[in-house]
Amino acid sequence: MTSKMKKLLGYSICAFGSALLLVAVTSHLWVRNDVADHQSAKHSENRLNIRFSEQTVRLEPVNSGDTSSGTIFVENTGNKIITNVTVKAGCWCSDVNLSATAISPGETIRIDFFIDTKGKYEDFTDNFIVTYSEDTKNLFDVFYATVPILASGKLIAEPASLQFSRARADESFIGNITLRVKDLPDNETVDIIDLSVPDWMTADLMRKDTHWELALTGEFPNQSGRYVEFVRIQSSSERYSEMVVPVIVEYATVSSGDSDVYQ
């Protein structure tokens, strides 16, 4: 084979290899594009076609035991009719009313919801699941409602617990707790009517203008490790008559090297 023929054969092989590489790359791009198109179509298919006027609703504060209520509107932002609209609350204490169970494209329906705050305090949040059907598909979305609850007559302790670390048996201690009544209306009064402490404590309760100061003194009992007891305080409040303050003692022992270690 002449050198010229060898050179032409080499060019042919390179051209053939380049063509194979081009086909492989093009096929790979087609596959990636097909995957991308499929994912895009799938995302479009799963896109929810409802819109809430508010997805997280914060209601006006109410007294504990009262019912709080709110309203949101649900819009059909798609081009197909939505049917079989239902709403399920996460808590048995909540209820809902719907103005309609079907929504035409561009229209809205009204959802009124009600939350019973009996036995609750602070901020209570409930979730409401809206289910519906669109073109034989069953879909859902969720909105949330939070109601701040005024716990009238609720005793709170500052701090909420007493914690002593590196304590030793028979060591003297003193702990101070401030007691307040939360959100008490001006025309109501709450008194502390009973106080129960462990037998290794002595309690001194002093009434101030707007709160009480509780001083606990005594000696740590002969224990080891972690020891927990409770101070129980009873008030004249009808809704919140009793509260408990934990007293947590972490004991220390002296090792052979005279350094404090915990059991």
The domain locations on the chain are 50-150, 154-262
Class of 154-262 per CATH?
mainly beta
Residue 107 has, within 13 A of its CA and on its CB side, a CA count of 13
Mean pLDDT for 97-101 is: 96
pLDDT at 18 (0 to 100): 40
Per-position DSSP letters for 11-47, written without gaps between them: HHHHHHHHHHHHHHHHHHHHHHHHHHHHHHHHHHHH-
Mean pLDDT for 115-130 is: 89
Query: Would you say residue 175 has pLDDT above 90?
Result: yes
pLDDT at 203 (0 to 100): 96
| Fold match between domain 50-150 and domain 154-262 | yes
Considering the chain, what is the average pLDDT of its residues? 80
**Torsion of the alpha carbons at 254, 257, 262 and 263, rounded to the nearest 10:** -80
Report pLDDT digits (tens) over 123-162.
899 999 999 999 889 999 999 999 988 777 778 899 989 9
Phi then psi for 6, rounded to 5 degrees? -60, -40
Taking the complete model, does pTM exceed 0.85, yes or no? no
Residue 186's SS3 state is: coil
Query: Would you say residue 236 has pLDDT above 50?
Result: yes
Of 173, 174, 190, 262, which Cα lies nearest the Cα of 226?
262
The CATH number, out of the four listed (2.60.40.10, 3.40.47.10, 3.40.720.10, 2.30.42.10), of the domain defined by the range 50-150? 2.60.40.10
pLDDT at 65 (0 to 100): 86
Q: How many angstroms separate the Cα of 7 from the Cα of each of 10, 19, 125, 250? A: 5, 18, 80, 89
pLDDT at 64 (0 to 100): 80
pLDDT at 44 (0 to 100): 39
